[in-house]
C-alpha cells in the first residue's frame, strides 16, 4: 500500500505535536474554518501529555535512560534517568490494556479546560469521573519503627461538618478561612501586606489554624508543593479549587478516563479531523526542513513530494529544530534567565488495593446504607515532608479504564530542589521507592524517570509572526494545574492566528445544533 500524499501544498495552519495545547489550537482553528495540517513525529498521540500502553512506555523509557541530559539541552522538556522493571508474562499479555500517563493530572471542575471541553463538544467523547478522595499521610514515629496512617481530607462543607476528628472550634476557624478564600480576598484587610508571606505563617497567624489543619489546607486543599509558598498565589489557586466543589460532586476534581490528558488530546484531534483537519503521525510527519518566507512558513515532509506552505505554524518548542528556536529567541539561549523545574516520577502497577483507598468501615453512616462498602477507585495521597517538598501520589483504579480489572496504577512525583548539585545526588527510584512502599508493598511493575522543564519566563521573541511557540507547563503543581495551563496555551495560540476581532474560540454556528443534533430521544 503506497502512502498517499497530502491533498494540498498549502494549509492555513500547520500544527506540530499532538500534545494537549497543540490539539486544542488545531481543533479550534479547524472549527473556525481554517485548513489545518496536524503533524506529530511520534507514532502515538499526545506528545508530552501522551497516555502510553505498557510496551510503549518501556520503549519511551529506553529512549530516556541516560542520566545526563546535556546532549538534549535544546529541549524545553527533557527526560532522563529512566528505568523500568521487566514485564512478567501476564503483563506482557495485557500490555495493551494499560493507559499510562506521562502527564498524570486531575482536572478542576471549574477552569479553562472544562470550559473548552464543553464549548468544543469534545466532552461528548471524553469521559470523566469524580476524584474519590484526597488523603494526607501522617507518620507516627515510635522508638523503633516508623508507621503512619492515611487520613481522608474532607472535600466539602458537608464532609467537614461530619468529620468527627475536627473539634467544633477548629471547624469554625476552618469555615472562616474557606469563606474568606472563596471570596474577593485581594482587597481584604486580612490579607493586606501579607501577600508574600509564606502560606503557613498566614494560616497560623491570621486565622489561628492549628498546625494539623494548616497542613491539611496546604497540601490537600491548596495543593501546594511547600508550606513556604507565597500566600497570594496559593490563595488564588485555592479559590478556583473551592469554587469547583459541588459542580459535579463533592470533590473539586475530575479524573479523565483512559489515561486522562492523552485521551483528552485525542478528543481534540478528532474534533479537528471532523472539521476537516489532516493528520499525519510517525516518521513521515517528521520535518526535514523548515524556513520562514514572506507569506509564512515552508516545510518539507517525507509524506509529500513538494514543499508545504502555511500562513502560520504552531508548535511546542521540542518539535522545532534548535536552529529555528535559537534564531527566534536570542535571549532564550542565555541560560541565566531560565528557571528549571526538576521532578522525579514513578509509575507503578499493583494488584492489591492500596490502604489509602480503603473506606473507613467504622464510619456508621456508610455502614447503614450498603452492606458491602465500596472502596475508592481513584485517590490523591500527599506525603508532607519536613523541610522538603511534598511527595504526591495519584492512584487510578479499573474504573478509569486505564488498567485491567482489579489493578491500580500509582503515580508518584516530587519536585526536586532547584540546586542542580542536589538533584543529581540520588536516582528517582531511591527518592520515590520509600513512598511507593507506603502505598503498596507488592507492585508488579515499576518505572522511574526525571523530568526537567524549563520555564520560558519572558516570551520567546519571535522573529516572525507566523511561528507560534506553545509554552510547556513549567511549575511544580502539574497534578492540579497542568491541564488548565495547556488549555490556556491552546486558546492563546488560536487568537494569535485569528486575531482578537475574529471568530470567538469554539464559537458555535447558529445552525450547528441542528446539524449535530440528530439524536432525538423519543424513548
Partner 1 sequence: MADETPVKAVQVKLVLLGEAAVGKSSLVLRFCQGDFNENTSPTIGAAFLTQKCRLENRIVKFEIWDTAGQERFHSLAPMYYRNAQAAVVVYDITKAASLEKAKAWVKELQRQANANIVIALVGNKLDLASDSSSTSISAPTATETPETPTEDEGTAEDGDSVEESTPTPPVNNESDDARQVSTAEAEAYAKESGLLFFEASAKTGHNVGEIFTEIAKTIPFDTITPKPAANQTGNRRSAGNTENNNVNLGDGQQAKRSGCC
Binding site for partner 1 (CB under 8 A): 1, 3-4, 45, 96, 109, 114, 117-118, 121, 123-125, 127-130, 156-157, 175, 178-179, 182, 242-249, 254, 257-258, 263, 266-267, 269-271, 273-282, 284-285, 303, 372, 374, 377, 397-402, 405, 515-516, 518-519, 523
For the CA atoms of the chain, what is the radius of gyration?
24
Least separation in angstroms between CB 18 and partner 1: 9
Least separation in angstroms between CB 165 and partner 1: 19
Least separation in angstroms between CB 2 and partner 1: 10
Using CA atoms, how far apart are residues 414 and 393, in angstroms rounded to an integer?
Answer: 9
- List 344's β-bridge partners, or say none: 414, 450
Least separation in angstroms between CB 512 and partner 1: 8
In this complex, which beta carbon is closest to partner 1, that of residue 88 or of residue 125? 125
Least separation in angstroms between CB 118 and partner 1: 6
In this complex, which beta carbon is closest to partner 1, that of residue 134 or of residue 454? 134
In this complex, which beta carbon is closest to partner 1, that of residue 145 or of residue 515? 515
Identify whether the C-beta of residue 338 lies closer than 8 Å to the C-beta of residue 457. Answer: yes
Secondary structure E strands in 70-216: 77-84, 100-101, 107-108, 128-130, 133-141, 146-152
**H/E segment holding residue 483:** helix 478-498
In this complex, which beta carbon is closest to partner 1, that of residue 226 or of residue 266? 266
3-state SS of 180-194? HHHCCHHHCCCCCCC
**Phi-psi region at 290: left, alpha or beta (left = phi > 0; alpha = psi -120 to 50):** beta
Identify whether the C-beta of residue 40 lies closer than 8 Å to the C-beta of residue 12. Answer: no
In this complex, which beta carbon is closest to partner 1, that of residue 240 or of residue 438? 240
Identify whether the C-beta of residue 345 lies closer than 8 Å to the C-beta of residue 450. Answer: yes
Task: List all residues 6 or more positions away from 451 whose beta carbon is below 8 Å from its beta carbon.
Answer: 77, 78, 79, 342, 343, 345
Least separation in angstroms between CB 215 and partner 1: 19
Using CA atoms, how far apart are residues 289 and 298, in angstroms rounded to an integer?
Answer: 8
In this complex, which beta carbon is closest to partner 1, that of residue 246 or of residue 475? 246
In this complex, which beta carbon is closest to partner 1, that of residue 5 or of residue 388? 5
Least separation in angstroms between CB 253 and partner 1: 11
Amino acid at each position: 500500500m503506497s502512502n498517499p500524499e497530502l491533498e494540498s501544498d498549502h494549509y492555513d495552519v500547520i500544527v506540530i505535536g499532538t500534545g494537549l495545547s497543540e490539539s486544542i489550537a488545531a481543533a479550534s482553528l479547524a472549527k473556525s474554518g481554517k485548513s489545518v495540517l496536524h503533524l506529530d513525529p511520534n507514532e502515538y498521540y499526545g506528545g508530552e501529555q501522551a497516555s502510553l500502553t505498557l510496551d510503549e512506555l518501556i520503549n519511551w523509557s529506553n529512549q530516556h535512560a541516560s542520566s545526563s541530559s546535556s546532549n538534549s539541552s535544546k529541549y524545553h522538556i527533557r527526560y532522563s534517568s529512566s528505568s523500568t522493571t521487566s514485564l512478567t508474562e501476564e503483563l506482557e499479555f495485557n500490555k495493551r490494556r494499560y493507559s499510562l500517563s506521562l502527564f498524570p493530572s486531575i482536572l478542576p471542575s471549574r477552569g479553562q479546560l472544562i470550559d473548552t471541553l464543553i464549548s468544543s463538544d469534545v466532552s461528548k467523547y471524553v469521559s470523566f469521573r469524580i476524584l474519590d478522595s484526597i488523603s494526607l499521610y501522617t507518620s507516627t514515629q515510635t522508638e523503633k519503627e516508623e508507621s503512619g496512617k492515611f487520613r481522608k481530607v474532607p472535600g466539602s462543607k458537608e464532609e467537614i461538618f461530619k468529620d468527627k476528628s475536627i473539634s467544633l472550634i477548629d471547624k469554625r476557624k476552618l469555615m472562616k478561612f474557606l469563606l474568606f478564600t472563596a471570596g474577593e480576598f485581594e482587597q481584604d484587610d486580612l490579607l493586606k501586606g501579607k501577600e508574600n508571606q509564606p502560606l503557613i505563617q498566614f494560616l497560623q497567624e491570621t486565622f489561628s489554624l492549628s498546625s494539623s489543619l494548616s497542613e491539611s489546607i496546604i497540601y490537600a486543599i491548596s495543593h501546594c508543593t511547600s508550606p513556604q509558598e507565597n500566600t497570594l498565589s496559593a490563595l488564588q489557586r485555592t479559590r478556583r479549587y473551592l469554587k469547583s466543589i459541588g459542580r459535579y460532586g463533592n470533590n473539586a476534581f475530575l479524573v479523565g478516563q483512559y489515561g486522562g490528558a492523552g485521551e483528552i488530546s485525542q478528543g481534540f484531534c478528532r474534533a479537528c479531523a471532523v472539521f476537516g483537519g489532516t493528520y499525519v503521525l510517525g516518521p513521515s510527519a517528521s520535518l526535514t526542513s523548515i524556513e520562514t518566507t514572506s507569506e509564512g512558513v515552508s516545510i518539507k515532509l517525507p509524506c509529500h513530494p513538494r514543499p508545504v506552505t502555511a500562513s502560520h505554524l504552531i508548535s511546542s518548542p521540542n518539535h522545532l529544530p534548535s536552529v529555528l528556536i535559537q534564531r527566534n529567541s536570542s535571549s532564550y539561549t542565555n541560560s541565566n534567565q531560565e528557571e528549571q523545574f526538576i521532578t522525579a516520577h514513578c509509575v507503578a502497577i499493583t494488584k492489591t488495593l492500596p490502604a489509602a483507598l480503603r473506606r473507613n468501615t467504622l464510619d456508621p453512616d456508610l455502614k447503614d446504607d450498603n452492606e458491602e462498602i465500596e472502596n475508592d477507585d481513584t485517590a490523591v495521597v500527599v506525603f508532607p515532608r519536613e523541610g522538603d517538598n511534598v511527595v504526591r501520589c495519584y492512584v487510578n483504579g479499573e474504573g478509569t479504564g486505564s488498567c485491567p480489572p482489579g489493578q491500580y496504577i500509582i503515580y508518584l512525583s516530587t519536585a526536586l530542589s532547584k540546586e542542580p548539585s542536589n538533584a543529581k545526588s540520588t536516582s528517582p527510584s531511591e527518592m520515590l521507592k520509600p513512598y511507593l512502599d507506603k502505598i503498596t508493598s507488592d507492585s508488579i511493575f515499576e518505572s522511574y524517570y526525571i523530568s526537567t522543564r524549563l520555564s520560558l519566563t519572558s516570551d520567546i521573541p519571535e522573529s516572525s509572526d507566523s511561528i507560534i511557540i506553545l509554552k510547556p507547563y513549567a511549575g511544580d503543581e502539574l497534578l492540579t494545574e497542568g491541564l488548565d495551563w495547556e488549555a490556556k496555551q491552546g486558546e492563546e495560540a488560536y487568537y494569535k492566528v485569528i486575531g482578537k476581532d475574529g471568530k470567538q474560540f469554539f464559537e458555535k454556528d447558529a445552525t450547528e445544533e441542528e446539524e449535530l443534533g440528530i439524536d432525538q430521544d423519543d424513548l
